[in-house]
Structure 1
C-alpha cells in the first residue's frame, strides 16, 4: 500500500479537493458562462437531433449527384411542408381529443374511485377496507378543496415569478428560431468539424481522437435515428390498435405513447396509465382488449422493430439504463431523462477508449518501445 504511486494518488486527490473548494468560493465568476450555456445548450441539442435525422437523407441526395446546398434547400422545403401538413391535418383532431379528455377526466376519475370502492367492499379485503373507509371518504371529500388550494398556490407562484416565466418563454422562442440556422450550418459543414478539432491537437493524438469521434458519432446517430423511428412506430401501432378496439381518444393516446417512448422502459409505463384509467371506467372487457393491444405492440416492438432499427449499438444493460434514467432525472429533470442515455453512451465511449490506452501503456504484456505505448489497430497489428 506504499510507494510513489500511492503518494502520487493521495496528492492528486488533495489537489482535486482544493480545486473544487476554490471554484466553489469563486463560483460567481462563472455566472456569465452559466447564463451563456443555459441559452446555447437547448438550440444546440435540438439542432443536433434534427441534424442526425436529416443527414442520411442529405447523403442520399448527394449520391444522386445533387449538390449539397441544393440538397439542404430541398430538405428544408420538405420539412416545412411536412410540419404544415401535420398542423393542418392532425393538430385539429388532436386538439379536440385533448380538450375532451381534460374535460371528462375528473368525472372518469370519480367513476373509477367508486368502482374500486364497490369492488373493495365485496372482496376479501372488505374488513380491512371498513377500517380505513372513513379516512378514505374524508380524503375524497377534501380532495376538491385541496386541489383548489394547490391551483391557488400555483397561480400565486406563477404570478410572482411572471418575469422568470417570460424570460424562459423568450429563451425558448429564440432557441426555436435559431435552430434552423444552426441546422443549416451543421448540414453544410458539420462533417468537417472533427477535422478542425483534430488539427488543434498534437499529431500523435489525432488518430486515437479520430477513433473516439467516430465512435461517438455512431452512438449518437444510431440512438437518435433509431429511438425516434421506434417511437413513431409505437405511436402508429397504438393508434391503430386503439382504433380497432374503439378506445376513446385513440389519436391522443397514440401521440402520448409516441412521445413518452423516447424514454426507454419508463416511457411505456407513463403512456399506458391514462389508457388503463379510461378502460377501467368503461368496462372490464375494454381493459382486456387494451391489455391485448398493448401486449401485441410491445411484442412487435421488442422482437421485430427495435432489433432491426436499434440493433445492439449502445450495448447498455437494462439495469444500467434504469439507474442512468433515475439519476439523470433527479439531477437535471425532464432534460436529464431524455438525454441521460445518449450522454451515458458518449461518456462510456470516452472512458472505454482511455482505459484501453491506459492498459496499453502499463500492461507488461503489451508491446512497448522506449516506455511508450504503441498504437494497436483494430486488426491487432502493431503500427
Structure 2
C-alpha cells in the first residue's frame, strides 16, 4: 500500500468519525433501521428462493412481524402501564424503608448513604402522578411542555419502519454497490473481513436479541410465581439490559430484593428472588447462549461493558445502540491485525 493510499484511507476514516459525531443526534432512526434491515435480510433472502420478488418478500416479512408483535404489545403495554402506576405509588414506601431499615444497617457496615428526604420525594411523586393521572395524560402534558421534542421523537418513531423497508428492499444492491467501489487490490481482503464480521454480527445480534427476550420472560414468570410485586416490570428491565454482561442479573436481583423485602419483611423472599435469577442464568449459560449465540463471538465481558459505556459517553443513546455492532467488527479487525503482527518482521526481530 503506497503512502498516498494510506493517507487517503486515514483521511476518509477521520472525516467519517467527525461526521458521525456531528450528526449523531439525527442518526438514531437510520441506525435503528439499518440494524432491523440487517436482522431481516436473511428472512427476505429465504423468501426470494421461492421465486417471490424482493419487494413482495419485504412486505410479507413486515406483515408477519407486525401481526406477531401487535397482539403482544396490545396485551403487554396495559399491563406495564398498571405496574408503572403502582410502582410510582410504592416509591415513597421504598424510600421510607431505605431510611429506616437499610440505611442504619449500611452505616454499621461503614457504607456512607446519601441523605434522602423520603417524605418530600413521596409528596413530589404523588403530586406529579395526580396531575398526570395516567400514561396518556402524562404524554399529553409532555407534548404541551416540549412539543418540538416530542414531535421529533414521534418523527423518529415513524421514520424507523420507513427506513427499514427501503434499506431491506435494496440491501443486496447496497452491499454490491459498496463492494464495487472498493479498490480492486483490497477488495478480496475487505470481502473476507466483511464475511467474518457478518458471521460475528449475525450470531451476536440475532442470538442476543432472542436471549434477552427469553431472559425477560423467565425473570417475569419466575418472580410472579414466588410472589414479587412488579414482576413483569422488573423482568423486562433486567432482560433488556442483559446485553451488558451480568448487568441485568445485578440490577434485577437488587430491584426485586428491595421490592420483596419491603412487601414481606422476610429475607426468605430474597432467597427465592436469588433462586429465580440463578436458575434463569443457568438456563442462559447452559442452553440459550450456546444454542442461540454460539461460541463465535469471543467478546470479553469487560470489553463489552467498556464498549457500551464509551459509546454512551461519546454519542449518547445512539452510541449505545451502535457500540456492540461496531465493537464486534473491530474485534474481527483486531484479530487479523494481531495475526499479521505475529507474522511480521517487527515481531520476529
TM-score greater than 0.5 by the shorter chain: yes
Compute the displacement of 1:247 (Å).
Answer: 1.4
CA contact under 8 A between 1:44 and 1:179: conserved in structure 2? yes
Relative distance call for 1:294 and 1:172 in structure 2 (3 A) is same
Task: Give the aligned partner of residue 279 of structure 2.
Answer: 296
Distance 1:179 1:100, change over 3 A: same
Q: Is the 8 A contact 1:52 1:225 kept in 2?
A: no
Name the structure 2 match of 1:234: 215
Q: What's the offset of the Cα at 1:237? A: 0.6
SS at 1:203's partner residue?
A: coil
> Where does residue 327 of structure 2 map in the other structure?
344
The equivalent residue for 1:279 is: 260
Paired position in structure 1 for 2:90: 104
Q: Structure 1 CA distance, aligned partners of 2:46 and 2:346? A: 45
Query: After the TM superposition, which residues 16-95 of structure 1 pair with which residues of structure 2 at under 5 Å, given as runs?
Result: 36=23, 38-39=25-26, 41-95=27-81
Aligned ranges 1:213-292 → 2 under 5 Å: 213-281=194-262, 282=264, 283-292=266-275
Does structure 1 conserve the Cα–Cα contact (< 8 Å) formed by 2:212 and 2:243? Answer: yes
Q: 2:120 aligns with which of 134, 138, 144?
A: 144
CA–CA distance in structure 1, aligned partners of residues 226 and 121 of structure 2: 37
The answer on whether the counterparts of 1:235 and 1:255 sit within 8 Å (CA) in structure 2 is yes
1:185 aligns with 2:161: no
Q: Matches of 2:332 and 2:104 in 1, distance apart?
A: 55
Contact residue 215 and residue 280 of structure 2 kept, 8 A: yes
**Relative to structure 2, which stretch is displaced further, 245-254 or 109-118?**
109-118
Conserved 8 A contact 2:38-2:168: no
How far the C-alpha of 1:45 sits from its partner, in A, is: 1.4
User: Is 1:328 aligned to residue 311 of structure 2?
Assistant: yes
Structure 2 counterparts to residues 160-171 of structure 1, below 5 A = 166-171=147-152
How far the C-alpha of 1:192 sits from its partner, in A, is 2.8
Conserved? CA contact 1:235–1:256, under 8 Å: yes
Q: Distance in 2 between matches of 1:34 and 1:166?
A: 26
Structure 1 residue 44, shift from structure 2 partner: 1.6
CA deviation after TM superposition for structure 1 residue 229, in Å? 0.5
Query: RMSD of aligned C-alpha atoms?
Result: 3.9
Residue 48 of structure 1 contacts residue 183 of structure 1 at CA under 8 Å; is this kept in 2?
yes
Query: Contact 2:41–2:171 at 8 Å: present in 1 too?
Result: no
The range that moved more, 316-325 or 304-313, is 316-325
Q: What secondary structure does 2:178 align onto?
A: helix
Aligned length: 320
Secondary structure of 2:296 counterpart: coil
Please say which of residues 49-58 and 324-333 is displaced more in the overlay: 324-333
User: How far off its partner does 1:112 sit?
Assistant: 4.1
CA contact (8 A) 1:263 1:338 kept: no
- Counterpart Cα distance in 2 of 1:342 and 1:55: 16
8 Å contact from structure 1 (residues 194, 213) kept in 2: no
Give the TM-score normalised by structure 1: 0.71
Matches of 1:120 and 1:197, distance apart in 2: 58
CA distance, structure 2, for counterparts of residue 322 and residue 55 of structure 1: 28
Report which stretch shifted further, 248-257 or 233-242: 248-257
